A and B are shown apart, each in its own frame.
Chain A
Amino acid sequence: GQQVMQIPQYQHVQEGEDFTTYCNSSTTLSNIQWYKQRPGGHPVFLIQLVKSGEVKKQKRLTFQFGEAKKNSSLHITATQTTDVGTYFCAGRRTGFQKLVFGTGTRLLVSP
């Protein structure tokens, strides 16, 4: 079955440092979504990427979809304490209804 892996599992940074999480799928994806889950909260949708090689930005967050549509990354520039949480990617295979969530990357930011 489809698997979606994320690395790293956990990262602890100092406020102001950059952060990147990588998402890799065993199968080609029709689209990929990113979610953020604050500690004790529920996942909240951030963005969706559909096109091969697509890059989207939301303020300090940059999202990329790989050329082969099997991997994706989320980069945060100059982290802030409000960025703390777990970031999940979720991919959908072409023709399938279901999203498969990655294992998540937990980000801790120290002031």
Chain B
Amino acid sequence: NAGVTQTPKFQVLKTGQSMTLQCAQDMNHNSMYWYRQDPGMGLRLIYYSASEGTTDKGEVPNGYNVSRLNKREFSLRLESAAPSQTSVYFCASSGKDRTDSNQPQHFGDGTRLSIL
């Protein structure tokens, strides 16, 4: 039982390059989330998907796009990477039941992204 799987684990990009972070969960969860974690800032929500076919902006969506490809997969794309996007990115999922709002979130191991 893998839970939430993120790829890649590490990545170094040059300013202006694009890339997609992949996330997949095998827990049949309805909701999926992308967070970034910076020192002293906690976890900040970038985008989330309450259910298959829907996506919504979080606190810090600028510079990112997402795709909820199917129930299992939720990808995060950086179209033109900037040094300010250097961070650790976590994907999470929650909610087997229809009422997802009180379900705990399960996190992947994270992607450590550096942009030079």
A45 close to B31 (CB less than 8 A): no
- Contact assessment for B102 and A50 in the assembled complex, using a CB-CB cutoff below 8 Å: yes
Contact in complex: B48, A48 (CB < 8 Å): no
Residues of A within 8 A of B35 (CB): 101
Distance between B57 CB and nearest chain A CB, rounded to angstroms: 10
Interface contact B101-A1, CB-CB below 8 Å: no
Q: Is the CB of B108 within 8 A of A45?
A: no
Does any Cβ of A come within 8 Å of B82's Cβ?
no
Q: Which residues of A contact B107 (CB under 8 A)?
A: 42-44
Contact residue range for chain B? 20 to 34
Question: Per-position contact with A for B34-55: 1 when CB-CB < 8 Å, else 0?
Answer: 0100001111110010100000
- Let me know if A48 and B109 touch, CB within 8 A: no
**Cβ proximity bits B84-116 to A, threshold 8 Å, 1 near / 0 not:** 000000101000000011101111111000000
Which one, B41, B43, B100, B102, contacts A43 given CB within 8 A? Answer: B43
Known pairs A48-B102, A88-B42, A90-B105 / 15 extra A-B pairs, C-beta < 8 Å: A9-B40, A43-B92, A43-B105, A50-B102, A97-B31, A97-B100, A98-B45, A99-B45, A99-B105, A101-B35, A101-B44, A101-B45, A103-B40, A103-B41, A103-B42
- Residues on A lying within 8 angstroms of B by beta carbon are 1, 6, 9, 30-31, 33, 35, 41-45, 48, 50, 88, 90, 92, 96-104
